[in-house]
Amino acid sequence: MAAAVDCILKLGGSALTQKNQFETLKTESLRRAAILVSLLWEAGERRCIIVHGAGSFGHFQAKEFNVALGTSGGSAASDHLRQGLCLTRLSVTKLNHVVTEQLMNTGVPAVGISPFGTWQTKNKNVIKAGIDAVKNVLDAGYIPVLHGDCTLDLEQHCCILSGDTIIEVLAKTLSPKRVVFLTDVKGIYSCPPDTPGARLVDSIVIGPERTMEPTVFTSALPHDSTGGMSLKLQTAINIVSSSHGSIPVLICKLDSEAAIKACLTGELKEGEGTKLSFMDT
């Protein structure tokens, strides 16, 4: 019987790309991400799943063609919408190819897996997930690399399936030892990091009703089709709450020593990032 999943690792789109610049990579950050995964591999944490955001790949096309809305107005799918879906997918799969190639360059046997066609939604809610493909890749000794993507939707023709939603489904099904979000900032802040007085929140406690202590406020870029940090935080809350704390969630900066420790041990010191835990009151 195959071992449990060691880690689900989310490489944030803002950490890998210049999110406000069309299809622009942060080359050094991508290289460091690949080295981090290679360290996990060498340490024996080999049942690891990578999910990366799209960043500046895909979001601009999705916004221009309203791919996230699909045919929510009740009309039939248009050629314009189909073109938008194809252009969005062309962009996100381009990034997936680059990420997978960089992982392979560091000795990681990485295999890109696109959700389109094996995942399906209804009113933007996942009703079918390609979990078997991920498990088969893991069991064969490879590292699956998934990404935020478009998906076909039974009610509105199509929508955007974010990497954060993919992680939530994977975590619920595969029960990893830990989930780590690697971003372009240290973790979750009391308010958007560029706001005066913003401070890093080291620990967030989730209650049985998915309450959060302390409360934080987040924001998203105008062209972000997936909710930005707000969705990441909600995803983290859902994972911790649904697992009653058995799956810890950590959020820290990709370009940091803390990122390596978070992925290998599931621990962070004060000032290194944010850890979410569960308290049943």
Residue stretches of the annotated binding site for ATP: 10-14, 55, 184, 228, 232
In angstroms, the CA 234 to CA 156 distance is 24
Place of tokens 């998915």: 210
- How many CB atoms within 10 Å of residue 230? 16
The long-range contacts involving 204-207, CB below 8 angstroms and separated by at least 24 positions, are 204/274, 204/275, 204/276, 204/277, 205/276, 205/277, 205/278, 205/279, 206/237, 206/240, 206/241, 206/245, 206/276, 206/277, 206/278, 206/279, 207/279, 207/280, 207/281
In angstroms, the CA 20 to CA 207 distance is 35
In angstroms, the CA 232 to CA 162 distance is 10
Place of tokens 């790309």: 17
Dihedral over Cα of 235, 237, 243, 246: its sign: positive
Place of tokens 């560091």: 106
CB 191 within 8 A of CB 199: no
CB 217 within 8 A of CB 190: yes
User: Which segments are annotated as binding site?
Assistant: 10-14, 54-55, 59, 163, 184, 228, 232
CB 18 within 8 A of CB 24: yes
User: Which segments are annotated as binding site for substrate?
Assistant: 54, 59, 163
In angstroms, the CA 254 to CA 185 distance is 8
